[in-house]
A = this chain, B = another copy of it.
Amino acid sequence: MKPVNVGMLGIGTVGSGVVNILERNADVISRRAGREIRVSHASARHPERPRSCRLEGIALTQDPFAVVDDPEVEVVVELIGGCEPARELILRAMANGKHVVTANKALIAQHGNEIFARACEAGVTVAFEAAVAGGIPIIKAVREALTGNRVEWLAGIINGTANYILTEMFYEGREFGEVLAEAQRLGYAEADPSFDVEGIDAAHKLTILASIAFGIPLQYDKVHVEGIDHITRADVAWAEELGFRIKHLGLAFHEEDGYALRVHPTLLPRRHMLSNVDGVMNAVMVNGDAVGPTLYYGAGAGAEPTASAVVADMIDVVREFNLEPENRVPYLAFHTHSLSEGPVLAMRDVETAYYLRLSARDEPGVLAEVTRVLGDFGISIEAIIQKQPEAGAEHVPIILLTHRVRERQMDAAIERLEQLDKTTGRVVRIRVESLE
């Protein structure tokens, strides 16, 4: 049989990785797919620049739309990123009857509902394993392996930059800003790191994971997002003293009254599997009602790890060429007409536990006031630490761990605590999860 012609949009880090894998592992790939797969066409803004892959046999162009419209191209691989022109390119590819493989988390999170609906109409596949957690086959695990389960919750370390920074802060006892600067020097963080350290990237991925897991439409705008830029070395040390690690997690829970979707720093028990995921590695824990907790760990970014997921999708698409569309694996693990309709809960209605750090005058009665405020708002305390003040200091830090309570109660309690005479400054709040 003749090879499958793939048109690749973008020949950057991941694109080069795809070409290299297809070349190096051509024999096993064609045995597994049943046909040879080759990148026949590719677009790049600067086609003349040197790449970290060979470009022999690839028809190069500056115009991605030319690739998408070329009748010889059977599968389009979109590796440009961002929403435009990627969205337009993908929609046009599908309208042209071509299957699509993408690594574009921002696009799927924000426009996936439209893209999947148009793919259904066109009878083509859109595959996006590389959009979440790089090389870890998490989309396939949730969508095709945990199919006998209802997913009760999932939790993921899904941004390698943030995890690298928190790992360094923990092991080296350093401050956020210092580690960020070093991460940028080492290439683990972008010049503009906001997507990573403010949680936007993780929120894109969490949106996609939650939709696959729960069978709900993609609702990126409803995800509660917090980054790691306010985490201090002191909080990392206090968390350790209390038996926890601080990790930046994407969390999705199926509650009685709806779905909780949130991205924020989280205290996790030290012995939890996710607590031991260090550096730039990613991991997603998925709890199914039948299987219980399962964890998937691997490289969340990088040329060949991400390309590994792209190529796996390409092979799946090729295997499914001869299938009737209704026999293919549905995009969100559910046919689009049978998605769930429960609401995504507002953060204030979500119940969770908290680590609080506040600064108070070193006087008798402070602790009593603080605990009474918490009690007034129905907040039970699991642990308190109050150390001796530093020499000459007028204020001492008070650290508390609370039991679970609804966020709106904690919001109100914190407001009240900040108004007390004896306290100073803001109350630091980091949510706590046991994830068992």
A contacts, CB < 8 Å to B: 17, 21-22, 24-25, 28-29, 31-34, 129, 134-137, 140-141, 144-150, 215, 271, 273, 276-278, 283, 288-299, 302, 304-305, 307-312, 314-316, 319, 322-324, 326-327, 329-330, 333-335, 338
- Once bound together, how far apart are the Cα atoms of A333 and B307, in whole Å? 19
A43–chain B nearest beta-carbon distance, Å:
22
> Considering only CB atoms, which chain B residue lies closest to A327 in the complex?
B322
Q: Is the CB of B147 within 8 A of A290?
A: no
Q: Which residues of B contact A141 (CB under 8 A)?
A: 137, 140-141, 145
Q: Is the CB of B292 within 8 A of A295?
A: no
Give which listed residue, B148, B292, B299, B308, contacts A298 with CB less than 8 A.
Answer: B292
**Can you list the 9 inter-chain pairs with the closest CB atoms, starting with the nearest?**
A148-B311, A137-B145, A135-B291, A294-B298, A291-B308, A295-B297, A290-B308, A290-B304, A147-B315
Q: A32-B147, A338-B31 are in contact. Are A294 and B136 (CB under 8 A)?
A: yes
Q: Which residues of B contact A137 (CB under 8 A)?
A: 141, 144-146, 294
A64–chain B nearest beta-carbon distance, Å:
23
Give which listed residue, B25, B33, B295, contacts A296 with CB less than 8 A.
Answer: B295
A189–chain B nearest beta-carbon distance, Å:
20
- Once bound together, how far apart are the Cα atoms of A294 and B135, in whole Å? 8
Q: Is the CB of A148 within 8 A of B31?
A: no
Q: Is the CB of A290 within 8 A of B273?
A: no
Q: Is the CB of B295 within 8 A of A291?
A: no
A304–chain B nearest beta-carbon distance, Å:
4
Q: Is the CB of A25 within 8 A of B149?
A: yes
- Once bound together, how far apart are the Cα atoms of A46 and B264, in whole Å? 54
Interface centre among A271, A277, A288, A302 (most CB of B within 10 A): A288
- Once bound together, how far apart are the Cα atoms of A397 and B223, in whole Å? 59
Give which listed residue, B31, B140, B146, contacts A145 with CB less than 8 A.
Answer: B140
Known: A34-B326, A148-B310. 19 other contacts (CB 8 A): A21-B148, A29-B148, A32-B330, A32-B333, A34-B335, A135-B288, A140-B144, A141-B141, A148-B311, A148-B312, A273-B297, A276-B276, A289-B304, A292-B305, A293-B299, A294-B297, A294-B298, A296-B296, A319-B329
Interface centre among A31, A136, A293, A322 (most CB of B within 10 A): A31
Q: Is the CB of A298 within 8 A of B295?
A: yes
- Once bound together, how far apart are the Cα atoms of A310 and B146, in whole Å? 10
Give which listed residue, B149, B276, B277, B312, contacts A144 with CB less than 8 A.
Answer: B312
> Considering only CB atoms, which chain B residue lies closest to A277 in the complex?
B273
Q: List 23 A-B contacts (CB under 8 A).
A: A25-B289, A31-B335, A32-B147, A33-B147, A34-B326, A34-B327, A135-B288, A136-B294, A137-B141, A147-B312, A147-B315, A147-B316, A148-B311, A273-B273, A273-B277, A290-B305, A291-B298, A291-B305, A292-B305, A293-B299, A294-B299, A319-B329, A323-B327
- Once bound together, how far apart are the Cα atoms of A314 and B307, in whole Å? 30
- Once bound together, how far apart are the Cα atoms of A323 and B319, in whole Å? 11
A277–chain B nearest beta-carbon distance, Å:
8
Q: Which residues of B contact A215 (CB under 8 A)?
A: 28, 31
- Once bound together, how far apart are the Cα atoms of A153 and B323, in whole Å? 33
Q: Which residues of B contact A145 (CB under 8 A)?
A: 129, 137, 140-141, 312
Give which listed residue, B28, B34, B290, B299, contacts A17 with CB less than 8 A.
Answer: B290
Q: Is the CB of B334 within 8 A of A308?
A: no
Q: Is the CB of A299 within 8 A of B308?
A: no
> Considering only CB atoms, which chain B residue lies closest to A315 in the complex?
B147
